[in-house]
Amino acid sequence: MVDRNGWGRDRPVPTGSPRSPPDWFAQQANVTDGGIYETFERDWPDCWERAADLLSWDEAYDTVLNDGNAPFYEWFAGGKLNAAYNCVDRHLEAGRKNHVAIRWEGKHGERETYTYRDLYVEVNEFAAALRGLGVEEDDVVTIYLPMIPALPIAMLACARIGAPHSVVFAGLSADALATRMDAAESEYLITCDGYYRRGDAFNQKSKADNARLSVDRDVETVVVDRLGDDLPHVLGDDERDYHDLCREYAGETVEPVSRDAEDMLFLMYTSGTTGEPKGVVHTTGGYLAHVAWTSHAVLDITPEDTYWCAADIGWITGHSYIVYGPLALGTTTVMYEGTPDYPDRDRLWEIVDRNAVDVFYTAPTAIRAFMKWGSDYPDRHDLSSLRLLGSVGEPISPRPWNWYREHIGRGDCPVVDTWWQTETGAVIVSTLPGIDEMKPGAAGPGLPGIDVAVVDEAGDPVEPGQAGYLTIGRPWPGMARTLYDGDDRFRSEYWDRFSDPDRDEWVYFSGDAAAIDEDGYITVLGRIDDVINVSGRRLSTMEIESAITDVSGVAEAAVVGRSSEVNGTDIYAYVSTAGGHDPDARVRQRIVDSIESTIGPIAKPSEIVFTPELPKTRSGKIMRRLLEDIANGEDLGDTSSLRNPEIVGEIQAESGSE
């Protein structure tokens, strides 16, 4: 197997010594029957009714799975339900109105608590307000908010009236917001004046204003006042203040709209193999069933828990495991606005301690930072409330895995390493924490009912220990149904490579490389497409390259990932200028500005290397893999077949890796 990241070459698959779940955990876990894998196999696809049973349906579904038009599968077709009803109302009806739904921890130590009753009131008022603004069922509402309570409230208000939301991560740029609004034909925007970044007030509204200038249609806008006097702002005629609106609709309730299981719940834009972001479509029934089931079976959440997923709701992890999964189960979900190191590096542990958090879920990039900062910070706090730890977003190698278990989990908490994607909606690969042995460095087997395989170029399973492509062979409820911009792109991005439509055999390709061991445990190695994973965030190298080549004076650019201790991957940009001239310092700044304005600061390269030319094959293709090896200081092998082999030494010297 040959590809641009070179996973075909021999790389050791690192796993540490296996660990069994401790008895105390296994005895109380939500899923304790080791026979669940067999049961799910035997009853597939009806086994997924267990997931659907975690929800309240307005009308029962007719079929569990309809595979008549693969790969456009339907789950629980004929069923009707409302996601906001499932996440809010039914917990009131169950007599849990005073149970805490959301504990919000603000950047500057502010705290807010929302009971299920409070959430019900706020979601209803904002749902009524959205209706008042003219939002109808199936209108896409764009939400561009940081981690403040208005974000999940707005999402649930949309769900209540059957308007799909499209949340755009608050750190993305005005251009990125405009592209997503245009692609989704969205005429409604919910944003805020600004938010605090580190200690400073940061203006979000000016980004939203700029985006609206370039969006094709008129946009009704709601602005949440987060900063008060720290950032005074003026509202235009087509802008409404969130709190004023809610006051106007105070006390109003809106009947939850009964949605078909297959109706869209939300859109989430993510980076793809081509420059244009992909609008991943998730539905109401299958998605909600799958996130509720995995919150129960993998994260082991119970309604009595205080659960904390330290991610941002602007990405899929936050949608599934801060908002929809935990609230569907009626638990208390913690929402944190700030960063792990502000005001000090023990901020997260202070929050765990004070709230007696039971289950904690975060990304390897954070864990590697904690490890670097040292155990003194967690040691200052009582973390004995923790029962289970989770990891998501990137591969976690044995060292940080063990550190996490040892220093955050007292050497005693199980750790689940969960592999999944925006497109899978919910967890696909993980151990079941009450049943399975854990192997540090390997995520685990496919969940019960999930058919993952690691295959070679021809689609045949690889031998244990070998690297191959990570694929999923059968449909699952939380899967994306299509891409908003078209079914063709959905097929070509995910299904064409390994499926055989003539024989009606459909295989989903994840874009990841992985290895599998004798026990079916998967070690994910990383992306093999044009996506790089920086601190657990998916970025498209092509999008960054096109932002660079937009700068006048730049001829060509190639962006690659360089392994990094804390971020997992750092962005390295190789740039040639028109005429091969040495650029002046302003070009470097213009490149950074262009990336920040088309994507956002998260896509800023950690290194920009100027070179007279980029290395190319005889047919003129840029050799990105070679550049990646140079960035990573790896052995380059024979480069004589390049069209311009002489350039390699120069680039190495510039990169400081000679």
CB-nearer residue toward ligand WTA: 343 or 520? 520
Q: Considering the complex, what minimum distance in angstroms separates the CB of residue 523 from ligand WTA?
A: 8
Work out whether 392 is an interface residue with ligand WTA (CB under 6 A): yes
CB-nearer residue toward ligand WTA: 501 or 601? 601
Compute the CA torsion angle 646, 647, 649, 652 (nearest 10 deg).
-170
Which of these ranges, 14-22, 121-129, 522-530, 566-574, lies near ligand WTA under the rule CB under 6 A?
Answer: 522-530
Work out whether 395 is an interface residue with ligand WTA (CB under 6 A): yes
Give 337's DSSP letter.
-
Q: Considering the complex, what minimum distance in angstroms separates the CB of residue 19 from ligand WTA?
A: 17
DSSP 116-155: HHHHHHHHHHHHHHHHHHT--TT--EEE---SSTHHHHHH
Q: Considering the complex, what minimum distance in angstroms separates the CB of residue 527 from ligand WTA?
A: 5
Query: Judged by CB under 6 A, how many residues of this single chain contact ligand WTA?
Result: 23
- Alpha-carbon gap, residue 491 to 450, rounded angstroms: 20
CB-nearer residue toward ligand WTA: 317 or 577? 317
Q: Which of 180, 259, 347, 527 binds ligand WTA (CB under 6 A)?
A: 527
Describe the crossing of helices 174-183 and 205-214 by its angle, rounded to 10 degrees.
Answer: 50
Work out whether 125 is an interface residue with ligand WTA (CB under 6 A): no
Work out whether 524 is an interface residue with ligand WTA (CB under 6 A): yes
- Alpha-carbon gap, residue 597 to 580, rounded angstroms: 26
Q: Considering the complex, what minimum distance in angstroms separates the CB of residue 313 from ligand WTA?
A: 13
| Cα separation values, 232 from 113, 148, 236, Å | 26, 18, 14
**Does residue 146 have a cis bond before it (omega within 30 degrees)?**
no
CB-nearer residue toward ligand WTA: 157 or 396? 396
Q: Considering the complex, what minimum distance in angstroms separates the CB of residue 202 from ligand WTA?
A: 23
Q: Considering the complex, what minimum distance in angstroms separates the CB of residue 50 from ligand WTA?
A: 22
Work out whether 528 is an interface residue with ligand WTA (CB under 6 A): no
- Contact set for ligand WTA, span 182-241 (CB under 6 A): none
Rg (CA), the chain: 24
Work out whether 538 is an interface residue with ligand WTA (CB under 6 A): yes
CB-nearer residue toward ligand WTA: 162 or 414? 414
CB-nearer residue toward ligand WTA: 315 or 498? 315
- Alpha-carbon gap, residue 286 to 65, rounded angstroms: 10
Q: Which of 89, 394, 545, 570 binds ligand WTA (CB under 6 A)?
A: 394
- Laid out side by side, the sheet with 278-283 consists of 239-241, 220-224, 188-192, 141-143, 165-167, 264-270, 278-283, 482-483
| Gap between the terminal Cα atoms of the chain | 28
CB-nearer residue toward ligand WTA: 1 or 92? 1
Which of these ranges, 152-160, 420-428, 475-483, 628-636, lies near ligand WTA under the rule CB under 6 A?
Answer: 420-428
Work out whether 361 is an interface residue with ligand WTA (CB under 6 A): no
Work out whether 521 is an interface residue with ligand WTA (CB under 6 A): no
**Does residue 256 have a cis bond before it (omega within 30 degrees)?**
no
DSSP 174-198: HHHHHHHHHHTT--EEEEESEEEET
Work out whether 535 is an interface residue with ligand WTA (CB under 6 A): no
Q: Considering the complex, what minimum distance in angstroms separates the CB of residue 363 from ligand WTA?
A: 8
Produce one character per residue of 509-541: b if its CB has 16 or more CB atoms within 10 Å, e if not. Answer: bbbbbbbbbeebbbbbbbbbbbbbbbbbbbbbb
Alpha helices in 162-263 (DSSP H): 174-183, 205-214, 242-248
Work out whether 393 is an interface residue with ligand WTA (CB under 6 A): yes
Q: Considering the complex, what minimum distance in angstroms separates the CB of residue 427 from ligand WTA?
A: 8
Residue type, 530: D
CB-nearer residue toward ligand WTA: 335 or 396? 396
Which three-class secondary structure state does DSSP give residue 309? strand
Which of these ranges, 24-32, 382-390, 414-422, 620-628, lies near ligand WTA under the rule CB under 6 A?
Answer: 414-422
- Alpha-carbon gap, residue 426 to 61, rounded angstroms: 21
Which of these ranges, 94-102, 412-420, 447-455, 621-629, lies near ligand WTA under the rule CB under 6 A?
Answer: 412-420
Q: Which of 166, 284, 418, 535 binds ligand WTA (CB under 6 A)?
A: 418
- Contact set for ligand WTA, span 315-354 (CB under 6 A): 315-317
DSSP 609-635: EE-SS--B-TT--B-HHHHHHHHTT--
- Contact set for ligand WTA, span 74-103 (CB under 6 A): none
Alpha helices in 273-346 (DSSP H): 285-297, 316-318, 325-329
Q: Tell me the two tokens of residue 201.
A: 């007030």
Largest distance between two CA atoms of the chain: 74
Return the residue matching tokens 């001239």.
581
Q: Considering the complex, what minimum distance in angstroms separates the CB of residue 34 from ligand WTA?
A: 22
CB-nearer residue toward ligand WTA: 230 or 496? 496
CB-nearer residue toward ligand WTA: 114 or 307? 307
Work out whether 443 is an interface residue with ligand WTA (CB under 6 A): yes
Pick the closest to residue 284 from 257, 261, 256 (CA basis). Answer: 261
- Contact set for ligand WTA, span 488-517 (CB under 6 A): 510-512
Residues that bind ligand WTA in the complex, under the rule CB under 6 A: 270, 315-317, 392-395, 417-422, 443, 510-512, 524, 526-527, 533, 538
